[in-house]
Amino acid sequence: SDKMLSLLDKWVQENNELANNFKVGNNSEQSCSEFHKLLRKIQGIPPDAGHAELELSVVYNASVCFIAQSQIVEAELLLQQATERVLQMTGDDPDTSDPLVLWRTVLKSVRKTAFHHHVLYLLSLQWAIWLTNSYLKTIRDFQEISALLETLSGKVGDDCRNETKAKFPDVPKLITDPRRLVELLQICTIITQGAERLSEGWSSEVLSDLQAASTLPAARALVAYTHLLSGACLAHMNRPQMALQCYKTALETDSHCVCALYQSILIYRQLKNSQAEIQTLRILHSILLLPSSSEPAMAGTHLLSPSLFLRSQSLSSLLSVPSALSVLHSLALKCVLHSRASEGVEHYLDLLAALHSEDQHRIGVHAEVSTLPKLPRLYLEAGAALLMAQRPADCMALCSEVISTTQDLLPQKVVLDESETNAAATEDVKEEGEGGLAMFLWTAAAYLLQGHCFTHMKDWKQAVTHYTRCINLLVKVHYKNKDTDVQQGGDFCILQRLKGLSFAGRGISFTQMDRMKEALRDLQHSLQVLPEGVGAGLWCGEVLWRLSRRCDAAACWEKTWSLPTQPLTETLPVYVQEPQTGPLLDSTELRHRLHELHPV
Amino acid sequence: MEGRCSVETWAEFGLLGKSGRPKVKRGFGANIFICTGCEEVYVFSANERKLTVVLQLPGPVNDLVESHDKQLLVACRCGVYCVDLQLLLHRAHGSSGDASSIPAELKISSEFVVVDADGVSSLLLVGSVLLTLSQTDTSWLLTLYKSPQQTQPTAYEVLGSFHLPQISPVVHDDTKLKAGRTGRSILLCAHFGNRPPPSSSCDAVDTSYPHFCLKPVLFKLLFGVEAALAKSPVVLCGLPDGRLCFLPLGLPGSRLRVLHSLEQPVVFAGASVVVETDPGHAQCLAVVGEQGRVVLIKADKAGPERRGSLARFTEGCVSGPVECGFVDKNCLYYSTGSDLLTLTLSEESAGREDGERGEEALRSPTSLNVCGVAALTEPTCSAAGDVQLLGLTVGGQLRSIRLPMRRRGEGSPRPPSSQVGRSVRDLLSAIGDVCERASALKTVIKSKNQILKQLNQVVNISFLLTKTEEPFPFEEKPIGCHATASWSRSLQKDTLNLKCVLTNSSPYVLERGWTLSVTVFPLSCSSSTGEGTSSTNFMFPFYNLRPGETLEVSLPAAAAGDTSYPLTVNCSLILSLSGFLGEEEVARLPGWQKSCFSLPLNTLTVDWLHASQVISPTGSQSNKETDTLQAFLSSRQIGCSKGDGASKPERYSASVRVSSELLRETLTLKSFHLDTKGPELASPNICFSLLDWLFFEAHGGVKVGREGNEIDSSGLAIRARAPNGATVKLSAKQINVAEENPGKEEGLVCVEVRIESSSVSAVCGLHHAVLRRIQSLLKKAPEKAASTEKVQRLGLRGALQQAEIQQSRLSEALSVGMSSSQTNRFLLGVYQELRANPLLVI
């Protein structure tokens, strides 16, 4: 027994040395195996209540190391062995394999023993493992955890620390303070649970929990998450302004919490507050460009990183932020759509420059799944923006880039069978999303934009040439299935708009060249394909007027005015929407003419 | 055969290593980098025709690449190392200005590591981005690193990585093995348009292989519009599983995708101009697989109903294996190891719609008659139109291969006579090369065949000897030993010699590497005391024992006075690998030098009876004095103890009783071939033949070498001298044991063998020997359904065991040297035990 005592002392000493080194070195992989080795030595002797405290401390240290290494299975195995040995010490029978029942038995049997607290520490690790594995229901069902909370946060913390420091230097040391661990687990559980229940639609129930959690002692990042989740709850409950407040608090708590910024952008979008949205997008983009933003400083001084315990799928979708390039694209598009074309152009040019820059590899690598549109579409959007910003030459350069790239790959014709899966079901689909049709539409749109550019420069002849090229391409697309229901699909819609706009453009150009017959034919074609075309309708009336068919003209105008006004939308590519430039007709003047015609 | 190529050997580096990959690369200036598959990288100056620098790396070298700022990046098993070559060359020149023949050597240690990654198999530099291809357990990993701006070798920053799951290769086994070992992969980079991307330091590095500019249409067809629009360089990688993958660098969200699968390890991929319409644009991407599959990828005009252009993959096959390859403007060069061949990628195959023309071109390679090329460099074209290739041969020679000028559409001009002479010389030397290689290969094949044949014999023999399902209970193994024991006298000492005869009655030949091993050890010592000293081992190497032949060896089993009988003689055959393959062959198999395996044959036993010499009733004995002295001594010893009421207390005796019936059934018939005429008539015969059988027949595989019939035919007794010198009398007589078994209705006739001697150990040992022999007799006896017989047999076995124990105790007691009183008590106990067992063997 005397020898035994010294052996125990030696083990305690070894454990404490390892724990001390751990704090200094932080080489946790090696520490893992060292603690595990020590534990195997200790567990070589039969379970005995006399040295339970030492054994359980080493189990705790080894398990913490394993969890920090994400070796969850190993840690769980250690805990299971430890509980079995505890039951052997107390002489109780572990007649179940259900971990919940096992833990209850263990807690009951050690209630009066000296190592009660050490078993509780192990329970906190079990909690950590459940949380890592997202066994939220188990955590909820296991009431003893709340008891654990009370016991540990009340007494142990002070006790333990005083003991270790002052009176007994040979008390086995723990590598991380169990009280801190329990605090961390508590807030992480609330956050994860909140995210899960929020996704299940229990927003109002979760809210109070989250708000309570925001006062818990924890790292700033975690507190920020509680605010963020409260905001998400409020957004679910249709209280966007309060949600915005929460997001703001989250950002104030932790400036790295960019997801709060992104969530507020979503709220602004929902509120259609485009100015605020643009502003927030701009801030988000500049934050994302900062070097440190990609890795939020979450770890802090904790050995066990909170990210270990925040593995819920719904939480990570809430925390995700699109890449800097995607944000930049949204920003540029928003600017263009909300009459800030010149600003939008700058952003588009930044975006294109980033794609071509030396640093391209970094950008390309970091976005796992790109939310950016295809590159040709990006070029065309930028072109449209340039045209809106009165820079037709630049627009034309971008368009010719697209045309030169796609031109020699264009098929002779494309047969579309809409009854098949998708619009891209062409004969030779080279790869997803880059079939012949997409290529056709890009090229046609590039010609259309070039036509607009020439219209803008009042070079009518060239404009006619480019509109004609566009039309010639578009007529090569054939539809097998003319069912109107399915023809509302995206590509078909774009095709129709391209047709309508190119005919309208050519008609207007013909009008300017005083070739009224051709103009009328084209404009009527345009209206046939795209009845809601405002430009085509007005100009068609004008042509009719000039051809002295005044009644027809009046009818045409009246019909056009009765159409609902269509602002630029995000649902369609900006380049297939009504051009903002080109020769305009003054509606008041037209009305005046009508008034003269029918002086009622 | 217009024009031959001239081959010139520039340097020799020794045989190529197996662990890394042979590589030859042209560097800046006239430097040529060579790795021979070992840990070294050699820098060879083509201008000075000499080796300038040797780099010694910590592991086998897989790949190397030169950066734009003239640093050399070397991929090793354990990481990527960066060496500032310019500095090194400068130093080499400075230090060895006069003694210019000595190359500078540099050991590359871990301080040069820039990428700490295991198993990097290929490297590629695109601008300032370093790409590494490595293989993990489940996937291929393409990792991007950013080169630091400063020239100091610091660790490269990881930009990102791309995974491609591995597939199990569908190629056949030996290539799979090869691919697994070398992990051969290639990395190259396709650029869009005329120039490589405008990088800050664009120079020759990004314009020569492995960088090339593809014709825009082909680029777009293969890699997509987006890559073309972004002017993004596209990394191509060829994998040992046959896949050719591509990755557009710098496109957001791009993935590593498979372009084509060759279904055999990709050996080479490169681009060729084919027709010089747009200068600098390659129109054809050529991929070559290890088994000779060649794929040419070109842009082609499609039919009227289809899109404007499409990528046409023309597949063909050349006779493999392909060791390495290269393309220049319009030719594909490849080496099969035994020859270097060239294929013309003509414009017919490029322009025409029918793919057969292309395949036809693939079917007619032109031989250049250069053998043993394991690695090639990019061909260079001189001003005169000559094409120069640099090749590294399997023998480790760096060779410059100069191809004759090619002119399209016309035959080559008649060469001048001196050139003809030279080309004949070249041709002859090429033939010489091939011949030398062929004869070397032939001898290797021959010796391999021989070894295989012999191995087959060995396997057959081991199967025969280790077969356990059908043991040989009575008949012997087809290969086995038997022995003859005889006393001989040399150097004033009597020794019991054992003549062992190994008989090969199997149909196989025992060829090289066999050794007969004979181990002799006393039975009593084998288990209990376990002394190593008591066993003696004899080895007899032999060679070529054909079926039916025998090998006779002779060994001393025991000296006179040695009483540790019975002796066990273990015979086994040992095959040593070094004896079988020869020393130098085995030296190539580390860890196998000492290995051998042993096949047990049979076990022989030499017992007291074998070792006893019969005292001829007529012949005079040479050492009678010793005998009498011994008798006197033993009588003195025993005389101290009290007699047990027997008439002669100093004489000890033991007896064995065997039923006559048993003897007649087993022994008599064999010995005399007589009809059984009834027990009475045959009785003296039985006794006689029993003694004869006991003394003169082979027992336990050992026969006694005695000549003449020395049995006292009248007295039915034999006097013999036991090996301890004591005189023993063995007598046999027929008795009836009816009175001892009152339960039986009829008396049982049996033969009693009586052993008498003044020496207890002799009695004991002989008794044991007789019992053993009779036990073997019992085994031979036809099985009878008599329970008593079984009981008796059991009793016999028990007695036998007891006797063995007694004997060992006895010899132990005698050797340890107890006090005489203890010994006496002990001996008496044994004696009584012996007497208390009246045995009857039925």
Residue B589 lies in a domain: yes
- The reported pLDDT for the residue numbered B433 is 85
Q: How far apart are the first and last CA of chain A?
A: 120
DSSP state for residue B667 in the 8-state scheme: I
**Are B594 and B661 found together in one domain?**
no
Checking if the pLDDT of B114 tops 80, the result is yes
Given this model, what pLDDT does residue A153 score?
63
SS3 assignment, position B188? strand
Among candidate residues B70, B51, B73, the one with its CA nearest the CA of residue B62: B73
Chain A residues within 8 A of B206 when measuring between CB atoms? none
- pLDDT score, position A329: 92
pLDDT at B203: 43
Q: What's the per-residue H, E or C state across B37-101?
A: CCCEEEEEECCCCEEEEEEECCCCEEEEEECCCCEEEEEECCEEEEEEHHHHHHHHHHHCCCCCC
Co-location of B535 and B672 in the same domain: no
CATH number for position B601: 2.60.40.10
Task: Please tell me which of the candidates A323, A361, A439 has its beta carbon nearest to residue B250.
Answer: A361
Least Cα separation, residue B230 to chain A (angstroms) = 6
Q: Would you state the pLDDT for residue B61?
A: 87
Beta bridge partners of A321: none
In a domain, B809, yes or no: yes
Q: Which residue has the higher pLDDT, B741 or B693?
A: B693
**Average pLDDT over chain A, rounded to an integer:** 81
Report whether pLDDT(A16) > 90.
no
Q: List all residues of chain B from 202 to 221 with a beta carbon under 8 Å from chain A.
A: 216-217, 220-221
Q: Please list every residue in chain B whose beta carbon sits closer than 8 Å to the beta carbon of residue A441.
A: none
CA–CA gap between residue B557 and residue B542 (Å, rounded): 21
Residue B635's pLDDT is: 53
Residue B289: beta bridge partners? B266
**According to the model, what pLDDT value does residue A296 have?**
47
Structural domain harbouring B758? 629-841
Q: With a cut of 80, say whether residue B417 has pLDDT above it.
A: no
Digit-coded pLDDT (tens) for A345-361: 999 999 888 887 756 55
Tell me what pLDDT residue A343 has.
92
Report chain B residues whose CB lies below 8 A from the CB of A360.
230, 232, 249-250
In angstroms, the CA B290 to CA B201 distance is 36
Q: Do residues B694 and B805 both lie within one domain?
A: yes
Instruction: Report CA B834 to chain centroid distance, whole Å.
Output: 56
Q: Do B217 and A431 touch (CB under 8 A)?
A: no
Cβ–Cβ gap B307/A410 under 8 Å: yes
Q: Do B226 and A409 touch (CB under 8 A)?
A: no
Give the pLDDT band (50/70/90) at residue B411. very low
Query: Taking 90 as the threshold, does the pLDDT of residue B482 lie above it?
Result: no
Q: Is the pLDDT higher at B80 or at B612?
A: B80
Q: Count the Cβ atoms, other than its own, within 10 Å of residue B747.
A: 13
List chain B residues with CB under 8 Å of A325: 252
Say yes or no to pLDDT of A379 above 90.
Answer: yes
Element holding B417 (H helix, E strand): helix B417-466
Average pLDDT over residues A367-379: 76
Measured in whole angstroms, the distance separating CA A194 from the mean position of its chain's CA atoms is: 19
pLDDT reading at B306 higher than 60: no
My answer on whether B832 and B766 are in the same domain is yes
Question: What is the band of B439 on the pLDDT scale with cuts at 50, 70, 90?
Answer: very high
Chains A, B: CB contacts under 8 A, how many?
Answer: 102
Question: Rounded to an integer, what distance in angstroms lies between the CA atom of residue A408 and that of residue A397?
Answer: 18
Identify which has the larger pLDDT, B81 or A598. Answer: B81
3-state secondary structure of B701: coil
Are B601 and B671 in a shared domain? no
Looking at B575, B606, B637, the residue that finishes a domain is B606
| Average of per-residue pLDDT across A194-208 | 86
Greatest mean pLDDT range, A62-76, B417-431, B798-812: A62-76
Query: For residue A118, what pLDDT band results from cuts at 50, 70 and 90?
Result: confident
- Within a 10 A sphere around the Cβ of A134, how many other Cβ atoms? 18
Mean pLDDT of chain B, nearest integer: 73
Please list the residues that pair with B398 across neighbouring strands: B11, B392
Among left, alpha and beta (phi > 0; psi -120 to 50; other), residue A548 is: left
- With cut-offs at 50, 70 and 90, classify the pLDDT of residue B497: confident
Is B706 in the same domain as B558?
Answer: no
How far CA B207 is from CA of B25, B195, B624, in Å, comes to: 14, 8, 108
Closest chain B CA to residue A401:
B229
Instruction: Assess if residue B743 is contained within a domain.
Output: yes
Lowest mean pLDDT, pick from B325-334, B700-709, B755-764, B774-783: B700-709
Q: Provide the 8-state DSSP code for A154.
A: I
The residue type at A136: L
Residue in A329, A361, A476 to test binding to B, most B beta-carbons within 10 Å? A361
The beta-carbon neighbor of B225 closest among A364, A368, A439 is: A439
Interface contact B24, partner A, CB < 8 A: no
**Is pLDDT at A148 greater than 80 in this prediction?**
no
Residue-level pLDDT at B396 = 83
Residue with tokens 């409260």: A230
Q: Are residues B820 and B683 in the same domain?
A: yes
Gap between the Cα atoms of B842 and B838, Å rounded: 13
Residue A348 dihedral angles phi and psi, to the nearest 5°: -60, -40
- B640/B599 same-domain check: no
Domain termination residue (choose one: B572, B606, B640): B606
For residues B724 and B818, state if they share a domain. yes
B568 and B650, same domain (yes or no): no
Instruction: List the single residue in A with minimal CA-CA distance to B218.
Output: A409
> Which structure tokens are listed for B129?
């981005």
- Asked if B308 lies within 8 A of A410 by C-beta distance, the reply is yes
CB A297 within 8 A of CB A342: no
Q: What angle do CA B358, B363, B367 make, to 5 degrees?
A: 125
Q: Domain check: are B680 and B748 in the same one? A: yes
Interface check for A355 against chain B (CB to CB < 8 A): the answer is yes
Its ipTM equals 0.76
Task: Find the DSSP H helices in A272-426.
Answer: 274-289, 313-319, 324-337, 341-356, 360-366, 375-388, 392-406
pLDDT number for residue B416: 62
Angstrom distance (rounded) from CA A501 to CA A535? 9
Orientation of helix A375-388 relative to helix A392-406, angle to 10°: 160
Q: How many domains does chain B have?
A: 2
pLDDT at B525: 54
User: What's the rounded mean pLDDT across residues B257-266?
Assistant: 87
**CA neighbor of A81 nearest in space, from A99, A104, A108, A107:** A99
Of B224, B228, B230, the CB nearest to A431: B224
Which residue did the predictor score with more confidence, A507 or A109? A507
Minimal CA–CA distance to B80: which of B177, B187, B167? B187
The verdict on residue B624 lying in a domain is: no
The lowest-confidence range among A114-123, A411-420, B110-119, B310-319 is: A411-420
Q: Mean pLDDT, to the nearest integer, of A320-328?
A: 86
CB-CB neighbors (< 8 A) of B159 in chain A: 361-362, 365
Q: Please give the pLDDT value at position B180.
A: 44
Question: What six digits make up the tokens of A129?
Answer: 């493992």
Q: Which of B606, B637, B656 is the last residue of a domain?
A: B606
Q: From chain B, pick out residues whose CB is under 8 angstroms from the CB of A413.
A: 305
A364 touching B (Cβ < 8 Å): yes
Least reliable range by pLDDT among A328-342, B172-186, B464-478:
B172-186
**Structural domain contains residue B41:** no
pLDDT digits (tens, 9 = 90+) for B17-68: 777 778 888 877 778 888 888 888 888 888 888 888 888 888 888 888 888 7
Handedness of CA A259, A264, A268, A270 (dihedral sign): positive
Residue B129 included in any domain:
no
Q: Do B252 and A439 touch (CB under 8 A)?
A: no
Sign of CA dihedral A354, A359, A360, A365: negative
Structural domains of chain A in order of their starting residue, each with its CATH number: 2-176 (1.25.40), 188-319 (1.25.40.10), 413-430+451-597 (1.25.40.10)
The enclosing H or E element of B164 equals strand B157-165
Residue with the two structure tokens 């639609």: A201
Sign of the four-CA dihedral A361, A363, A364, A368: positive
Distance CA A26, CA B544 (A): 68
Strands B652-659 and B840-841: parallel
Q: Which of A366, A427, A436 sits opposite B160 (nearest CB)?
A: A366
pLDDT at A327 over 80: yes
User: Full-prediction pTM beyond 0.80?
Assistant: no
What is the structure's pLDDT at A418? 54
* A478 and chain B in contact, CB less than 8 A: no
Q: Which of A367, A379, A412 sits opposite B229 (nearest CB)?
A: A379
Residue A432's pLDDT is: 40
| Residue B684 reports pLDDT greater than 70 | no
- Cβ-nearest to A367 among B146, B252, B302: B252
**Two structure tokens written together for A178:** 């169990």
Interface of B with A in 217-276 (CB under 8 A): 217, 220-221, 224-226, 228-232, 249-254
- Whether residue B729 is contained in a domain is answered as yes
More confident residue, B382 or A453: A453
Q: How far apart are CA B82 and CA B116, in angstroms?
A: 12
Question: In this structure, are B574 and B671 located in the same domain?
Answer: no
Any domain includes B511: yes
Taking the alpha carbons at both ends of chain B, their separation in whole angstroms is 97
Residue B277 is predicted with a pLDDT of: 60
